[in-house]
Structure formats: C-alpha cells, structure tokens
Chains A and B, each alone.
Chain A
Amino acid sequence: MLDTMIEGAIAFMLIAGGAFAFIGSLGLTHLKDFYMRLHGPSKTTTLGVGCTLIGALIFFSREDGPVIQELLITIFAFITAPVSAHMLAKSALHHKLKPDPRTRGNPVELESEKPRHTIEESPQGDSPLP
C-alpha cells in the first residue's frame, strides 16, 4: 500500500515536471515578443526541472537510502534561472528590441531615434532569435 503511494508520488512528480517543461517550451512558440517569451523558460522550465528532480530524489532515496544531491541541483537551478533571465532581458533592452504593441509602459531604455535591431514578429512568433 505504502509502496503504491510512493510510486504514485514519483509518477505524479515526473508527469508534472514533464508537463511544466512542455508548457514552458510551448510558451516559446505561442508568446508574441521576446520579453514575453522570457517568462516561459525562466519559470515553468525551472519548476519542471524541479519536479523531475524531486521525483528522482524520492525514487533513489527509496532504492538506496536518503540522497540529497538532487535537491542541490534543484536549488542551483532556482538560483541561476533568474540571473540568466535577467541577463537576457538586459541584453534585449540594450539592443532595443521592440516589444509587442500591446505592451504598456515605455521605459527610457527602449527610447531611441532609430532602433538598432528589430525582429519582424509574425503572429506565430516563430522568428529566429538574434
């Protein structure tokens, strides 16, 4: 009985992790501009990796005693993801990428006579990254 429950928890974590990672990647194709696309990988994918690793943690803890390494990977992922997202956003601002026209707010960082780089955004948002 307990075995079934533990296995259920592992399966749930793996499926939830996979689903989150998938939705995060789906966001890359669905969202309209660079800044919005940033939200997918920085959040959903991190939790996807986190869930998968927690599943692995439970599995290996049951097999051969408590294992903590997976938890460390999760913590490292949670510390580094915001930093990379921040650097991506910063370089996008630096290149003055045009945000989606619906975006409110007009930061000074994006104001310039002539944008140096623009990406033609198709509705599917399938343009290559610079």
Chain B
Amino acid sequence: MIPPTRWLPMPVLSLLLLVVWLLLQHSISLGQWLLGGFLAILIPVLCRPFWERQPTIKRPLKLVGYFFRVLGDIVTANLQVSKLILDPRGRMRPAFVEYPLTLKENFPITILASTITMTPGTVSAHLRLDGRTLLIHALDVGDIDALINDIHQRYERPLLEIFES
C-alpha cells in the first residue's frame, strides 16, 4: 500500500476522492484533474482528526472476492426477506443474537456490521462498548448457533484474513 505522508495522510481516500470527482464531473479535462486533485488533498487533511487509524489491507485481491460474495448475498437476502414479507401466514422466528467478535480493529468491525445488515435476515443492532459482542436482530432464524457459525465462516474469517492476519 502507499505509505502516508504529511500532506497525504490517507492516500487511498485521496485516490478515491479524485476518482469519484472525475466520474461525477464526467470529464477528464486538465481543469477537472487539478480541481479534483486539490480537493483530494484538502479534504483528507481537513478531516484527519475525525478518522481512526487507517487500516492496512493485507490482501487486496481477497477484498475484491469478498465484495462480490456480499453482492451476491444481498440479492439472496432480498429474495428471502421478500418471501417472508409476502408469506400470508407470517411465520417468523425473530431473535436477538449475541455474536462474539474475533475481529479487534474498528474498521473491519464496521465492515462486518454493515455486511450483516445487508445480508440474509439480519440487522446488526448494537456494538457493545467492550467491543467484543455484536447484538444482531434476525428476522427468521431456526438455529441460533448455526447462524453465528455461518456469519463467522462466511464473513468474519475472510475479513480476518484481509485485515488482521
């Protein structure tokens, strides 16, 4: 990864801002490059105090794989939730599940929590202050332990490998 310097405290964010700026302007003229570059430097410097320590991505390729897996799961999740909503008998087995986290850093935990919200039948409701359990509300769950195991295998382990291994 690109090492941070004084004027580029968050190189990845700067790059992202520049790319998004150019895409939004829908032009790659010199003026847009300059303006975008200026903003890409200025914004991270200004909002640096609000940010946590930047996470290090150890395996970028795995991150891409993770992204597509989540994308696929979002579609499945939607079909499942739609089916549950449309089911006239309304048989649902909602539950609060306490998920024990193995991730330690804040940024991967944020990604995990967002993933859980976007994927099948679960919304992450609360991160306990000790940072070790995540409270999840599930719409329809038969076996709570199976759900926890599923989330661990499917999402948390890849995140562990990407960010913390």
A: which residues have CB within 8 A of B? 20, 23-24, 26-27, 30-33, 35-36, 38-40, 42-44, 46-47, 67-69, 72, 78-79, 81-83, 85-86, 89-90, 92-93, 99-100, 102-107, 109-110
Most buried by B among A27, A32, A81: A27
Interface size on B, residues (CB 8 A): 34
CB pair B77 A43 closer than 8 Å: yes
B: which residues have CB within 8 A of A? 20, 23-24, 26, 74-75, 77-78, 81-82, 85-86, 90, 92-98, 113-115, 117-118, 121, 123-126, 135, 137, 139, 144
CB pair B125 A89 closer than 8 Å: yes
CB pair A20 B93 closer than 8 Å: no
Secondary structure type dominating chain A contacts: helix
CB pair B81 A104 closer than 8 Å: no
Tell me the bound Cα distance from A40 to B139 in angstroms. Answer: 10
CB pair A43 B118 closer than 8 Å: yes
Distance (Å) between the CB of A70 and the closest chain B CB?
10
CB pair B92 A72 closer than 8 Å: no
